Amino acid sequence: MARWSDSRTIPLVPRKVLVIDDHPGFRRTARRLLEGDGLEVVGEAGDAASGLAAARMLEPDIALVDIYLPDSDGFELTSRLAALAKPPAVILTSSREQSEFEDLVERSFARGFVPKHELSGDALEDLLK
């Protein structure tokens, strides 16, 4: 994997993102937004089980994981993703604020949290620094 000294420059090989969220509307918007910001959205999943399967197959660099999932929750999925052979960097997201989850985000394997309405390629890159 390439390393970047400045995250604001668009890398030659765009980072691969997997979006895991049960709202199709959000997945669609996130895809357009992140691709507009120079990232490559390699896949989408609507629940934790298919998200884990997609991560295993697609080996994304980043997994954008909604904290509320129909079959599990984002913290649980984060642990499972971290145990993969090639674990993606997990960024948790929610339409709620991080403070509502107490210290669960810090205590998880996730790289960070971004509120849904503040999602952008830069926001993800900032969290990966």
Partner 1 sequence: MTGRRWTLVAVALAGGIAGGLTLGIALGTDTSWGPGRGFNAVVGPLVGWAFIGTGLFARVRRPENRVGLLMIAVGFTWCASALIVADQPGLFVFGYLTIGLPYAILYHLLLAFPDGSLHSQMERALVATGYFSAVVLKTLETLFADTGASPRGLPDNPLLVGTDGGVLADVAGFRPELGVLLALGVVALLAVRWRAAVGAQRRALTPVLVSGGFVTALLALFLAAGVTGISGIRDQLEVARIAVLAMIPFAYLGGLLHSRVVGAAGVNRLVARLGRHGRPVDVRDELATALGDPALTLLFWLPQRELFVGAAGRPAELPAAHSDRTASVIEHDGQPVAAIVHDRSLVDQRELVQAAGAAVSLVLENERLDAELRATVEEVQASRARIVASEGAARRRLERDLHDGAQQRLVSAALSLRMLTGTLNGDPESRRELDSARKDLDDALRELRELARGIHPAVLSDQGLRAALNGLANRAPIPVELTGGPTERYPENVETAAYFVVAESLTNVAKHAAATHACVRINRAPEKVIVEVSDDGIGGADAASGSGLRGLADRVSALDGHLEVDSVPGRGTTVRAMIPCGS
Binding footprint of partner 1 on the chain (CB under 8 A): 23, 25-26, 28-30, 32-33, 36-37, 68, 73, 95-97, 99-102, 104, 116-117, 119-120
- The minimum distance between CB 102 and partner 1, in angstroms, equals 5
The Cα 113–Cα 124 span in angstroms is 9
Phi/psi of residue 37, nearest 5 degrees: -90, 10
Nearer to partner 1, 84 or 115 (CB): 115
The Cα 109–Cα 113 span in angstroms is 11
The Cα 19–Cα 26 span in angstroms is 9
The Cα 88–Cα 73 span in angstroms is 17
Nearer to partner 1, 33 or 58 (CB): 33
- The minimum distance between CB 117 and partner 1, in angstroms, equals 4
- The minimum distance between CB 62 and partner 1, in angstroms, equals 17
Nearer to partner 1, 40 or 73 (CB): 73
Pull the structure tokens for residue 105.
Answer: 């985000």
- The minimum distance between CB 76 and partner 1, in angstroms, equals 12
